[in-house]
Amino acid sequence: ASDLLNQTLDYEHTLTALAEMAVPTLAGQVVIDLVEDDGSLRCVAAAHSDPAKSEYLRDLRRRYPPTAEDHPVQRAVRTGEAVYLANVQEHVDEMAHDADHASEIRALANTSGIVVPLIARGRTLGAIQLGTVAPQPRFTQSDVELAIELARRASLALDNARLYGEAQARAHAAAALEFVDDGVFLLDGDDVIRLWNPAAAQTFRVKAAKALGRPAGELIRDWNAVQDRIRIASEPSSGVGRAQTVPVDVQGEERWLSISAVRFPGGTVYAFRDLTEERAVDQLKSDFVATVSHELRTPLAAIYGAALTLQRNDVRLEASQRDGLLDVVASEADRLARIVNDILWASRLDSGQMGVSIESCDAAKLARQVVEALRPHVQDAVELVVDAPEGLPEVAADPDKLRQVLTNLVDNGVKYSPDGGRVLVAVTHTANRIRFRIEDKGLGIPAAEHDRIFEKFFRLDPSMTRGVGGTGLGLYICRELVYRMHGRISVASDGRSGSTFTVELPVASS
Ligand code: ADP
């Protein structure tokens, strides 16, 4: 039995082999039950000297588990002591669920019986039940000793297998935690960090080697205040610990974490997802709605005002005044159309419905068309200039998309030059690229924001734009369109004396 028990770590398989080995040398029938996590017993092995009955024994156990309080198996498990039955037939009523069960037990015709508990490190793991069947002699006290010894060895093997299994499961769990995107950390009863996965290391910018063994309060700023806001569940999926979104200060930067926590005997495990980016997008979106409503309302109010004045019968308007008001209607309607246009372009880009069809285009002609279309809307203080030499090679682009890009850039150049100045559109070419340079003498863009201005909805702080309106979509649209045409877009500005945007697109192959 010892040899057998030491052979493998697959304990269910081993216990079955053990039961089979004990029959018929030691007993006429053997049944082994293990205690489950919920305290119930599960039959894992059964053997009978009549091999045809082994399966029947298992089935009987499944139908009638040994749940009766006085069942010898229950007694052995409860007391941790071996139970010896000199005459099994006298104890049938203690085991039987009902009359049918009782008659099935009787039919098995066990004469004597022994039940020995399986115990390791103070924990009861299950029980081995042995029975004699005539013509086998009944068990004696020395058989009880032997059964106890057998159970001791089986318990040891079982415990080893379980420990090994748990260690393996733990190793797998730890390995899995290395790869999940969610941050996971574990604090023991003293709030000392015992586990710190790479996602946690990334969010808190502290490596595991530095975090392990230190109190959470030393690594996470205001940990006590943060902890107070997290509802801790006492068991997983109880719903009590539903994730809370809380702000956490990471090296002076605010990060929004959606954290849930579960307490277990070894401490508390915290799992979180970093929602800072999502929150920022949400914030941008609500800012966007506010900005757009404002942006739409201003031209609408101007149009409405002009229309009301034109309608009045009591005031005689000069022809020039009428023309002026009609100009307001036309130019404000144009502004409205451009805002709505930007929103449509952005939504088409987002939904992936934006196809580009690249063809050979005359870059200089396109630049001039764009500038001429904008010229009527430009304030007098702004001088719009196109510098495009004759004989440039054609550019490979989608003309509608390129027109949109240039329109947005020139429009921005004009818009962000509230004091006027020259806005230049220069077209040049290198070996295989056509370069559009849109240069203004306006407010400029601080270097720190050069990347972000191309993000959707992003707008510079109003204090830097002297209240100039916009949706924050124009440059995003430019960047997306230029990428789709296999080009590059960039900005240069010292943040004070104007900005220069550069768009480069491939020369069309002739
Ligand atoms: P908007 O509709 O706000 O103009 P854009 O996406 O076109 O949106 O531009 C994003 C932000 O970049 C603007 O809000 C503005 O702050 C800044 N910006 C863009 N172009 C210029 C420029 N030529 N000069 C100064 N700032 C600019």
Is the pLDDT assigned to residue 125 strictly greater than 90? yes
More confident of the two residues 317 and 71? 71
pLDDT at 241: 63
Instruction: Please state whether beta strands 421-429 and 382-387 pair in parallel, antiparallel, or not at all (unpaired).
Output: parallel
pLDDT at 166: 85
Going from the Cα of 418 to the center of ligand 1, the distance in angstroms, rounded, reads 13
Is the pLDDT assigned to residue 285 strictly greater than 90? no
Going from the Cα of 459 to the center of ligand 1, the distance in angstroms, rounded, reads 6
pLDDT at 240: 58
Residue 131: CB within 6 Å of ligand 1?
A: no
User: Which protein residue has the closest C-alpha to ligand 1 atom 19?
Assistant: 412
For range 215-236, the mean pLDDT: 87
**Which value, to the nearest 10 degrees, does the dihedral of the CA atoms of residues 462, 466, 471, 472 take?**
-60
Q: How confident is the model at residue 459 (pLDDT cuts 50, 70, 90)?
A: confident
Residue 474: CB within 6 Å of ligand 1?
A: yes
Residue 465: CB within 6 Å of ligand 1?
A: yes
Q: How confident is the model at residue 334 (pLDDT cuts 50, 70, 90)?
A: confident
Q: How confident is the model at residue 291 (pLDDT cuts 50, 70, 90)?
A: confident
Is the pLDDT assigned to residue 305 strictly greater than 90? yes
Question: Model confidence over 62-92: pLDDT tens digits?
Answer: 999 999 999 999 999 999 999 999 999 999 9
Residue 470: CB within 6 Å of ligand 1?
A: yes
Is the pLDDT assigned to residue 295 strictly greater than 80? yes
For range 440-454, the mean pLDDT: 95
CB 88 within 8 A of CB 28: no
Which of 294, 339, 440, 445 maximizes ligand 1 atoms within 8 Å of its Cβ, making it the mutation to test the pocket?
445
Going from the Cα of 311 to the center of ligand 1, the distance in angstroms, rounded, reads 37
Question: Model confidence over 395-419: pLDDT tens digits?
Answer: 999 999 999 999 999 999 999 999 9
Order across the sheet with 110-120: list the strands: 41-48, 29-35, 123-133, 110-120, 83-85
Mean pLDDT of the chain: 91
Atom nearest to 454 CA in ligand 1: 6
Is the pLDDT assigned to residue 95 strictly greater than 70? yes
Measured between alpha carbons, how far is 426 from 410 in angstroms, rounded to an integer? 11
Residue 85: CB within 6 Å of ligand 1?
A: no
Answer left, alpha or beta for residue 42, where phi above 0 means left and psi between -120 and 50 means alpha. beta
For range 324-328, the mean pLDDT: 91
Going from the Cα of 464 to the center of ligand 1, the distance in angstroms, rounded, reads 10
Residue 459: CB within 6 Å of ligand 1?
A: yes
Residue 416: CB within 6 Å of ligand 1?
A: yes
Count of C-beta atoms within a 10 Å radius of residue 267: 18
Q: What is the percent of the chain with per-residue pLDDT over 90, rounded to a whole number? A: 64
Cα distances from 294 to residues 29, 414, 468, in angstroms, run: 87, 20, 12
Is the pLDDT assigned to residue 438 strictly greater than 90? yes
Going from the Cα of 412 to the center of ligand 1, the distance in angstroms, rounded, reads 6
Going from the Cα of 133 to the center of ligand 1, the distance in angstroms, rounded, reads 94
Q: What is the percent of the chain with per-residue pLDDT over 70, rounded to a whole number? A: 99
pLDDT at 445: 95
Is the pLDDT assigned to residue 298 strictly greater than 90? no
Is the pLDDT assigned to residue 510 strictly greater than 80? no
Question: Model confidence over 139-195: pLDDT tens digits?
Answer: 999 999 999 999 999 998 888 888 888 888 888 888 888 889 899 999 999 999 999
Residue 339: CB within 6 Å of ligand 1?
A: no
Residue 473: CB within 6 Å of ligand 1?
A: yes
Q: How confident is the model at residue 429 (pLDDT cuts 50, 70, 90)?
A: very high
pLDDT at 114: 97
pLDDT at 236: 65
Residue 476: CB within 6 Å of ligand 1?
A: yes
pLDDT at 163: 86
For range 296-312, the mean pLDDT: 92
**Residue 190 DSSP symbol:** T
Question: Model confidence over 236-265: pLDDT tens digits?
Answer: 666 556 788 999 999 999 999 999 999 888
pLDDT at 169: 85
Going from the Cα of 447 to the center of ligand 1, the distance in angstroms, rounded, reads 13
pLDDT at 469: 80
Q: How confident is the model at residue 271 (pLDDT cuts 50, 70, 90)?
A: very high
CB 338 within 8 A of CB 374: no
Going from the Cα of 122 to the center of ligand 1, the distance in angstroms, rounded, reads 72
Which of 453, 458, 465, 478 maximizes ligand 1 atoms within 8 Å of its Cβ, making it the mutation to test the pocket?
453
Going from the Cα of 434 to the center of ligand 1, the distance in angstroms, rounded, reads 23
Residue 325: CB within 6 Å of ligand 1?
A: no
Going from the Cα of 338 to the center of ligand 1, the distance in angstroms, rounded, reads 15
Specify which residues 244 forms β-bridges with.
Answer: 259
CB 121 within 8 A of CB 159: yes
Atom nearest to 413 CA in ligand 1: 23
- 3-class state of residue 48 by DSSP: strand
Which of 451, 461, 475, 497 maximizes ligand 1 atoms within 8 Å of its Cβ, making it the mutation to test the pocket?
475
Measured between alpha carbons, how far is 434 from 360 in angstroms, rounded to an integer? 12
User: Which protein residue has the closest C-alpha to ligand 1 atom 4?
Assistant: 470
In sequence order, the 6+-apart residues with CB closer than 8 A to the CB of 239 are 233
pTM of the model: 0.56
Residue 414: CB within 6 Å of ligand 1?
A: no
Atom nearest to 498 CA in ligand 1: 24
pLDDT at 24: 86
pLDDT at 93: 93
Going from the Cα of 21 to the center of ligand 1, the distance in angstroms, rounded, reads 84
Residue 288: CB within 6 Å of ligand 1?
A: no
Going from the Cα of 344 to the center of ligand 1, the distance in angstroms, rounded, reads 18
Tell me the CB-side half-sphere exposure of residue 362, using CA atoms within 13 A. 10
Q: How confident is the model at residue 390 (pLDDT cuts 50, 70, 90)?
A: confident
